[in-house]
Amino acid sequence: MHQRNGPAPGLVPELVCRDLEVSRRFYVDVIGFRVLYERPEDRFVYLEREGVELMLDQLGPASWLTAEASVPFGRGLNLQITVSDVDALHARVEAAGIALFRSMEEAWYRADDHHVGNRQFLVQDPDGYLLRFFQDLGRRDGLPRDYKRGPLPVA
């Protein structure tokens, strides 16, 4: 297995999955995460990619569920994941034949008196968790005079 490069992040989501091996192949072979460690006897794997860490845990009697598990998992949640080369990852996902939830786009979002930009696409993992992979485009100061709310249109 691998070692962490630096301190543990302040938040590490643990995603329950229906089939650990299917999810592991998606995250490792397609998305490019690496295994930091695993506990096969518990159907558990701990993953890392560019400082982002995730835990995968196969659904079972010991799973911490607050309601009945039904697909898609993670309703109402999307995980925004920073990557250094969003275009290369987008190409890997497309080459694997995985349907995109949202195609590659440039989006600008208001943050007080300025906008922050993302180059991003969204895909669902095998259990339906929504993953938003993005590359930071920086900031734009000021807002258009007629700006109301929502993403800033790309010029």
Residues 14/57, Cβ–Cβ less than 8 Å: yes
User: Which residue type is seen at 105?
Assistant: E
pLDDT tens digits, residue range 123-135?
A: 999 999 999 999 9
Do the domain assignments include residue 132?
yes
Do the domain assignments include residue 64?
no
Count of domains for the chain: 1
Do the domain assignments include residue 46?
yes
Give the tokens for residue 124. Answer: 């669902």
ω into 153 cis (within 30 of 0) = no
pLDDT tens digits, residue range 64-105?
A: 766 677 778 888 889 999 999 999 999 999 999 999 999 999
Do the domain assignments include residue 3?
no
Q: Which domain holds residue 132?
A: 14-59+73-141
Do the domain assignments include residue 85?
yes
Q: Assign residue 25 the CATH number of its domain.
A: 3.10.180.10
Do the domain assignments include residue 5?
no
Distance (Å, whole) CA 46 – CA 15: 10
C-alpha of 127 from chain center: 13
Distance (Å, whole) CA 62 – CA 64: 6
